[in-house]
Amino acid sequence: MRLEVNNLTKTFGENSVLDNMNFTAQAGSALGLLGRNGAGKTTAIRIIMNVFPPDSGDVKLNGRNLGSSGMRIGYLPEERGLYPKITIRRQLCYLARLRGLSNKDAAKAVEYWLERLEMSEYTDKKLETLSKGNQQKIQLALALLASPEIIILDEPFSGLDPVNSRLLKEVITEQVHEGKIVIFSSHQMGYIEEFCDDVAILNGGRIVLSGDLREIKRGYDRSRIDIRLDGPAGATREVLGRLQQQARPGSILSEIADTDDGCIVKLRHPEQRNQLLQSLAATGMPVDRFNVLEPTLEDIFIEKASATV
């Protein structure tokens, strides 16, 4: 199963929100849809959900227009929208029936998801009596009640404590392993890196970077190295400082920064890694750590989302 977003354009009045937007998402994997506030993420999600049409472009699932495919979409919005004064069971069963489930199937699905999300004890409680984190779990249960093929999660970890965050991670991982298409929209880059195989970064309504996250990272500068020598405190900085002074101007090291127990250096050229390692070995001091640092998703996001388009 493959979701394709093709050349989406959307304007509101004179405001261009999406400009020829393209990305794909695969079954059995999660995609991180990233962008600063106002980049167009919410508009893209609403078009995927057929809330309103694009000015041009289309959204297809397995080559068919998504609106005619009959596939269910489960959506966890950033702004929650359940009924505060109605009991959990009553409103979930009602909303499940609106999504096409029979009375029997709705009751069964509600029972399953409340138990899976450790919320069974709150079945007959009103939503307004629950904590923010537990309300979030009820909203997730609603998103999953009808066994959706596509799951869209907008800031899903907002308001969750570490225990409930771990539970949510387990549930999302299960959905991915069951072959669902999962789309994350979040500013919490750590969760995106943990769950998402692919990312698509929006800036000014355009996709400025998309693809496999591991491949994207491999394409970035790998000239920063985390080094620790096995010696007394300060030995790593001292040895690297000597190497920098001994080398001819502009040769190997362009920067040296201290860490808690070593240093991070920046090579002038990534291919000089072996040369640096040989120089360190020649000092006679054992090399305890020599790790090439790859950029974090946050590093990449800041670069791409801050650029002028």
The pLDDT of residue 104: 96
Do the domain assignments include residue 302? no
65 pLDDT higher than 60? yes
> Are the C-beta atoms of 156 and 168 separated by less than 8 Å?
yes
Picking from 218, 238, 255, the residue at the C-terminal end of a domain is 218
Residue located via tokens 């040296």: 256
- 50: nearest Cα among 70, 79, 32: 70
Do the domain assignments include residue 160? yes
- 138: nearest Cα among 153, 149, 122: 122
Are residues 48 and 178 located together in one domain of the fold?
A: yes
Number of domains in the chain: 2
Span 127-137, average pLDDT: 93
The 3-state DSSP class for residue 86 equals coil
Looking at per-residue pLDDT, the higher value among 65 and 250 belongs to: 65
Are residues 202 and 256 located together in one domain of the fold?
A: no
Are residues 157 and 21 located together in one domain of the fold?
A: yes
Quick: pLDDT tens for 46-60: 999 989 999 999 999
171 pLDDT higher than 80? yes
Quick: pLDDT tens for 17-45: 999 999 999 999 999 999 988 889 999 99
Which token pair is 156? Answer: 């899903």
Are residues 143 and 12 located together in one domain of the fold?
A: yes
Are residues 22 and 61 located together in one domain of the fold?
A: yes
Which token pair is 162? Answer: 């570490």
Are residues 75 and 209 located together in one domain of the fold?
A: yes
d(CA 32, CA 229): 38
66-72: Cβ within 8 A, 24+ apart: 66/3, 71/148, 71/149, 71/150, 72/99, 72/100, 72/146, 72/147, 72/148, 72/149, 72/150
Are residues 204 and 91 located together in one domain of the fold?
A: yes
The pLDDT of residue 37: 86
Span 230-255, average pLDDT: 80
Quick: pLDDT tens for 81-110: 899 999 999 999 999 999 899 999 999 999
* Cα–Cα separations (whole angstroms), residue 29 to 26, 69, 149, 160: 6, 20, 12, 23
Q: Look at the alpha carbons of 143, 144, 148, 153 in this order and tell me if their dihedral is positive or negative.
A: positive
Q: Look up residue 280 and give its amino acid.
A: L
The pLDDT of residue 250: 57
Are residues 137 and 229 located together in one domain of the fold?
A: no
| Triad 160, 98, 1: Cα angle to 5° | 70
The pLDDT of residue 246: 74
Are residues 205 and 229 located together in one domain of the fold?
A: no
The pLDDT of residue 142: 96
The pLDDT of residue 308: 65
Are residues 192 and 231 located together in one domain of the fold?
A: no
Quick: pLDDT tens for 214-238: 999 888 878 889 999 998 888 898 8
Are residues 156 and 232 located together in one domain of the fold?
A: no
Are residues 279 and 210 located together in one domain of the fold?
A: no
Do the domain assignments include residue 299? no
Picking from 218, 242, 267, the residue at the C-terminal end of a domain is 218
Which token pair is 41? Answer: 């993420």
Picking from 164, 194, 218, the residue at the C-terminal end of a domain is 218
DSSP state of 285: -
CATH number of the domain within which 138 lies: 3.40.50.300
Task: Return mean pLDDT, the chain.
Answer: 90
Do the domain assignments include residue 305? no
Of the pLDDT bands very low, low, confident and very high (cuts 50, 70, 90), residue 270 is confident
Domain residues for 266? Answer: 224-293
d(CA 304, CA 103): 48
d(CA 236, CA 73): 54
The 3-state DSSP class for residue 61 equals strand
Do the domain assignments include residue 42? yes
Do the domain assignments include residue 309? no
Do the domain assignments include residue 132? yes
> Are the C-beta atoms of 292 and 189 separated by less than 8 Å?
no
Do the domain assignments include residue 32? yes
CATH number of the domain within which 273 lies: 3.30.70
